Amino acid sequence: MDMFQKIERIGPAQFQAEIKLVNGDGNEKITTRTYERCNSIFAAYKSLITALRGLHDCTITLYTNHHQLSVELFHERSKNTTLANMLDDITAINNLEIKNGKGE
């Protein structure tokens, strides 16, 4: 399954997160949510975690425009943050694997 994440600043401490899920049959599901009083990494993690809650037993190829999230997920994994721990929990419970869509 492919997941396309787009994080966009829409105001001071306001971000819009769009997640598009595309399954093997080409069916798409798009969700958009606005996060307020936060930074962009919070919006990136929370939108990813929320999207993963409905998925089970699959591999997700993630394409994201958020550089820091990509760094934390695929290069310099941070185990000391609550959001990283929440992501680890949801992937373990739902038997999910996240792969880098950029091929890095």
- The answer to whether the predicted template modeling score (pTM) of the entire model surpasses 0.85 is yes
pLDDT digits (tens), the chain, 104 positions: 999 999 999 999 999 999 999 998 989 999 999 999 999 999 999 999 999 998 999 999 999 999 999 999 998 876 668 999 999 999 999 999 999 997 54
CA-CA distances (angstroms) from residue 71 to 52, 92, 100? 19, 20, 10
pLDDT at residue 75 in the model: 87
CA-CA distances (angstroms) from residue 55 to 3, 14, 39? 11, 27, 26
Residue with tokens 């959001």: 83
Q: Which domains does the chain have, with CATH numbers?
A: 2-100 (3.30.420.10)
CA-CA distances (angstroms) from residue 95 to 13, 18, 79? 33, 23, 19
**How far, in Å, CA of 36 to CA of 3, rounded?**
23
